Structure 1
């Protein structure tokens, strides 16, 4: 009887340890979620919130204006980064930028060509977020 009780208690302790470990892992994941959602270039956050307008066309115009600012930063960062590179690296960076532009346009076309008027907002927001990310990436790459 004592051996059986010891085996059961040991099994319960092991189960409790597993549950505690699982709970700890879940808490870590849960703690990371708000941080991820708060990323400044996440969709429908940060700058997007400044585009709280009454109509879809107004929202799209606002997002497009924000995107134009990020496109300007992409161009500025790209020029600065190209100036720091060898000829071979310049060609690679130009090819990468061309491929990135094609990707962004194709990716956002998926959203803008969706159903309903919200698709225009989604397409504009896609372009804003991806352009913001690219600007930040190029700016970071150009830092010493």
Structure 2
């Protein structure tokens, strides 16, 4: 199950990165800089948030962490795909 989630997350991560690059091509410099800052902070938040679930007790911890990474990555990819310039 963790492997399936990791594979699905990798696909969404690719979409996220493509949307991020496309979004950076548009808009004023200040807006692009803010997106870079927001994306760095979002990555830190996602990783810390999912690490929290990974520290759960029992064998379910790995599934919870992988599910968290999948859900958050998918949501961010969709958000960036809907951003102006995409």
1:126 aligns with 2:68: yes
Q: Deviations over 1:38-97 (max 9, x none)?
A: xxxxxxxxxxxxxxxxxxxxx111100000000001100000001012211111000000
1:111 aligns with 2:53: yes
Q: Alignment partner for residue 98 of structure 1, among 40, 64, 67?
A: 40
Deviation for aligned residue 1:107: 0.4
Q: Which runs of 4 or more aligned residues in structure 1 lie more than 4 Å from their structure 2 counterparts after TM superposition?
A: none
Structure 1 gap ranges (5+): 1-58
Q: Deviations over 1:96-125 (max 9, x none)?
A: 000100010000000011100101000000
Q: Alignment partner for residue 11 of structure 2, among 56, 61, 69?
A: 69
Contact (CA 8 Å) 1:80, 1:142: kept in 2 or not?
no
Which residue matches 1:84? 26
Structure 2 gap ranges (5+): none
* Aligned residue-pair number: 86
Contact (CA 8 Å) 1:73, 1:135: kept in 2 or not?
yes
Q: Which has the higher contact order (CA 8 A, sep 6+)?
A: 2
Calculate the TM-score normalised by the size of structure 1: 0.58
Calculate the TM-score normalised by the size of structure 2: 0.95
The CA distance in 1 between the partners of 2:85 and 2:63, in whole Å, is 33
